[in-house]
Structure 1
Amino acid sequence: MRHSLLSKFQGTILGAVLGDSTGLQYQRQLVGISPQTEGWQPILQLTKHQQLTLNGQTLLNSPNTKILTGTHSSECGRLAVAWTQSLIRCMGLDLKDWGDTWEVFVKSEIYPPESTEFQSVLNPCEAAVAALPCAMFFHENKAKLREKIMLATDVFPNENKSELQTAVLAIGYAIARSLKQRLDPSTAIDQTIAYLNTDNALTELLLQVQILLEQKADLETATTHLCKSVTALPEKQGDGDKRAQTNSTVNQGNLLPIALAFYCFLNTAEDLRLSVMRAARCGIAGQLTCALTGALSGAYNGAAAIPVEWRQLSSAAVESRRLAAGGEPSLWGIGSDAKIVELANNLFAVWAGVYNPSAGMNSEALARAVAAPYVIRPRKI
């Protein structure tokens, strides 16, 4: 194996968390908010950002993209952490515990009083980020992956739940293929569409992504084309579908970050840094787009592909927020990249059947090597 499965577990979660943080820093810079740490400046100012328009509005300010720039900016990431903790605590998916976790989560102090919309509805991209631990835990069997995701996402209130579940399955299947070392960037879109086995707005966007990749389209061309495709999709649908889109928060604009994440990842599959930075430069729902791109690339390339300076800068941002009046830890509420790695390690240990909740951080079990069968042999004493 090119990367150990443990490294891929770590890379998926770390990639999503640090992608979210990178997207937030870039968004804040675009709207004129100073970055939390000066170290982000040379990373983010690679090229001049060009704002795109969708339905006459800048995507940066479009309500459909749900740009989040406040201290409560990563609700779906915090939900992913809660979901991971539920999987670890129950040694698998316990629907009762997961339902209780969801109820407690939406009533927690994480949400300010005005954020009632998120408590009732998740859009597809938010659900895809939240469901990352489920995709990781059930990656080895695509039938079980579909079954568990469908069951687990039933707790999410949404009028277009089938479309939301399709989005979660698309990201989850790509993650699962990477974890099993079976994802080929040249055929990933075709295989994902075949797995989804449906025809909706997301599959239409994924087909457009495949065309753009085959044409070797640059970032600006790809982003503009996908935005135009989003505006054209309702015109291709019947009146019944139009009505559904009008009355639901699940619409084509909410699916755009998933399409962009697939494009940014598959276009530079071997370079996580470049994939995430290009996702940030799209300027469209930066946190979600970057988190999904980071998760896809992290699962494919492992934790070693994540730039060390990103982890250092994120830790510095966490510390600066803690010192600020009324501040709170960022990084999905965990507080440090080391704790994120520990969370990924525990999830992997539960999946492997070797998790010991009573073991301390200095346990010898944490230092054992993880390798493919018959590759590493025990030493003879």
Structure 2
Amino acid sequence: MRHSLLSKFQGTILGAVLGDSIGLQYQRELAGIPRRTEDLQPILQLTKHQQLTLSGAKLVLNSASSKILTSKHSKCGRLAVASAQSLIRCNGLDFKDWGDTWEVFAKSEIYHSQNTEFQSLLNPCEVAVAALPCAMFFHENKAKLREKIMLATDVLPNENKAELQTAVLAIGYAIARSFKQRLDPATAIEQTIAYLKTDNALTELLLQVQILLEKGADLETAATHLCKSATALRERQGEGEKKLQTESIVNPENLIPIALAFYCFLNTPEDLRLSVVRAARCGITGQITCALTGALSGAYNGVAGIPVEWRQVSLAEVKSQQLAEGREPSLWGTGSDAKIVELANNLFAVWAGVYKPDTGLDSAALARSVAAPYVIRPRKI
């Protein structure tokens, strides 16, 4: 194997977390919001065109235009952490425990927020991030992957779970193929669509991604084309046309981050840094697009593909934010990239059948009890 499976577990979660952080940092730069401490250097600079655009007027955190800079998308990241912890705690997907986890999360993160009209739902891209641990844990068998994702997403409130589950399956299947060293960038879109076995707004956008990749379209062209395609799909649905085999009530524009994540990853599959940077520069829902791109590329390239300086800058930003505002640390609520790596290690250990994964992979004793599934399990007292 080019990369160990443990490296891929670590790369997927860490790539998503740092992608989320980088997307937020770049959005702040784009909005003209200064860094909290002067010694922090930005991960990527604004282009001259973007600097000229910002020179006329600067946005502030409290303005209506800066709502995208809030930690809304980090909520799905914290749900992903809770999902991984549930899998570790229960040695797999326990429907009751996961339901309780979602209920606690929903009450603390969604229903108790100031604006409760909209936030009872997560859009498909957010759920795709939240379901990353489930996709990782059940990557071996594509039939079981589908079954477990259906079960995991069934507890989430949504008006159209079919489309939501399709979005999660698309990301999950691509990650599973990477874990098994079977993902070919040239055929990844075709195989993903075949696995989804449906025809809806997401598959339409993925087909457009395939066309853009074959034509060698640049980032600006790809982003513009996908936005126009999503708008056309929405207008078609609004007019009641029946070109899609399944009726959709999910706004196709909410699926653009998934399409862009596939485009950015498959355009430069061997370079995680470039994939995530381009996802940030497209300027469309930066946090969620970068998180999905980081997850896809991290699964393909492993943790070795993540630049060390990204981890250092993100950790410094977390510490400065905590000191300046006294808020909960970011990086999906963990406050440390080391905690994210530890979470990935424990998830991998449970998947591998380790008897007591909480002892850590770097335990001095290295005493492990590993067995086939359902043969040895922790004793219940």
Aligned partners of 2:173 and 2:192 also within 8 Å: yes
Aligned partners of 2:346 and 2:358 also within 8 Å: no
| Structure 1 residues without counterparts, runs of 5 or longer | 52-64, 243-247, 369-381
- Greater alpha carbon shift after TM alignment, 347-356 vs 186-195: 347-356
| Separation of aligned partners in 2, 1:350 and 1:207 | 36
Please tell me whether residue 86 in structure 1 is matched to residue 86 in structure 2.
Answer: yes
Deviation at 1:339, TM superposition (A): 0.6
Deviation at 1:44, TM superposition (A): 1.8
| Separation of aligned partners in 2, 1:143 and 1:171 | 15
| Separation of aligned partners in 1, 2:108 and 2:314 | 25
Aligned position for 1:116: 116
Aligned partners of 1:25 and 1:36 also within 8 Å: no
Please tell me whether residue 144 in structure 1 is matched to residue 139 in structure 2.
Answer: no
| Separation of aligned partners in 2, 1:103 and 1:132 | 19
Q: Which amino acid in 2 is paired with 1:313?
A: V
Residue 308 and residue 365 in structure 1: after superposition, are their counterparts in 2 closer, same or farther (change >3 A)?
Answer: farther
Aligned partners of 2:139 and 2:145 also within 8 Å: yes
Aligned partners of 1:67 and 1:286 also within 8 Å: no
Q: Which amino acid in 1 is paired with 2:11?
A: G
- Greater alpha carbon shift after TM alignment, 32-41 vs 301-310: 32-41
Question: Residue deviations 1:201-257, cap 9 Å, x none?
Answer: 000000000000000001011111111111111344474579xxxxx9831110000
**Aligned runs of 1:130-279 on 2, under 5 Å?**
130-237=130-237, 239-240=239-240, 250-279=250-279
Aligned position for 1:15: 15
Aligned position for 1:310: 310
Deviation at 1:180, TM superposition (A): 0.5
Aligned position for 2:322: 322
Aligned partners of 1:329 and 1:335 also within 8 Å: yes
Residue 357 and residue 200 in structure 1: after superposition, are their counterparts in 2 closer, same or farther (change >3 A)?
Answer: same
| Separation of aligned partners in 2, 1:104 and 1:321 | 26
Deviation at 1:327, TM superposition (A): 2.0
Deviation at 1:265, TM superposition (A): 0.2
Aligned partners of 2:29 and 2:46 also within 8 Å: no
Q: Which amino acid in 2 is paired with 1:91?
A: N
Q: Which has the higher contact order (CA 8 A, sep 6+)?
A: 1
Secondary structure at the residue paired with 1:225?
helix
Deviation at 1:28, TM superposition (A): 1.1
Residue 255 and residue 350 in structure 1: after superposition, are their counterparts in 2 closer, same or farther (change >3 A)?
Answer: same
Aligned position for 2:54: none
Question: Residue deviations 1:38-71, cap 9 Å, x none?
Answer: 57655321534669xxxxxxxxxxxxx9964225
Aligned position for 2:281: 281
Deviation at 1:298, TM superposition (A): 0.1
Secondary structure at the residue paired with 1:183?
coil
Secondary structure at the residue paired with 1:120?
coil
Residue 66 and residue 30 in structure 1: after superposition, are their counterparts in 2 closer, same or farther (change >3 A)?
Answer: closer
Question: Residue deviations 1:175-214, cap 9 Å, x none?
Answer: 0000110000000000000000100000000000000000
| Separation of aligned partners in 2, 1:207 and 1:362 | 44
- How many pairs are equivalent? 353
- Greater alpha carbon shift after TM alignment, 342-351 vs 28-37: 28-37
CA RMSD of the aligned region, Å? 2.7
| Separation of aligned partners in 1, 2:135 and 2:346 | 15
Secondary structure at the residue paired with 1:25?
helix
Aligned position for 1:76: 76
**Aligned runs of 1:286-365 on 2, under 5 Å?**
286-357=286-357, 359=359, 363-364=363-364
What's the % identity of the aligned pairs? Answer: 81
| Structure 2 residues without counterparts, runs of 5 or longer | 52-64, 243-247, 369-381
| Separation of aligned partners in 2, 1:143 and 1:134 | 13
